[in-house]
Amino acid sequence: MPIFIILIILSFSLYVFYKVSEVRAKEPFLKRWTGTKAKMALGSFLASFGLNELTAVEGRVQLWVALIFLIYGIVLLIMNYKMYKHF
C-alpha cells in the first residue's frame, strides 16, 4: 500500500535528520532529547515496515518477521515517547 511506503520513507528521513542533529548537538541534554526523537522515528519506521509486510504475507516466516518488526517498533515508540515526555 502506498501509505505505508510514504510512512517508511518519511520516518526513515526523520530518523536520519534527528540522528545528525544528535551528533551535531553540543549540550548533553539536547543530545539525549534529539536522540529520543531519533529512536521514536526508528520505531515508527520499524512499525510501518512491519505493517507493510503484513499486507502481503505469503508464509509463516514472513508473518513472524513482520510481527516482530511491528511489536519492536511499537515498543520503541512507546518507550521513547515516555523518555521524550520526561525530558
- Give the residue numbers spanning the domain of 48: 2-86
**What is the distance between the alpha carbons of residues 79 and 72, in angstroms, rounded to a whole number?**
11
Q: Calculate the alpha carbon distances from 56 to 10, 60, 71 in Å.
A: 21, 12, 17
Mean pLDDT by runs of 10 across the 87 residues of the chain is 87 94 89 90 92 86 89 91 81
pLDDT given at position 59: 86
pLDDT given at position 29: 86
Cell numbers representing residue 5 in the block: 511506503
**Residue type, position 25, single letter:** A
Q: How many domains does the chain have?
A: 1
What's the pTM value of the predicted model, to 2 decimals?
0.85
**13 phi and psi angles, rounded to 5 deg:** -70, -35
Beta-carbon neighbour count of residue 24 at 10 Å?
10
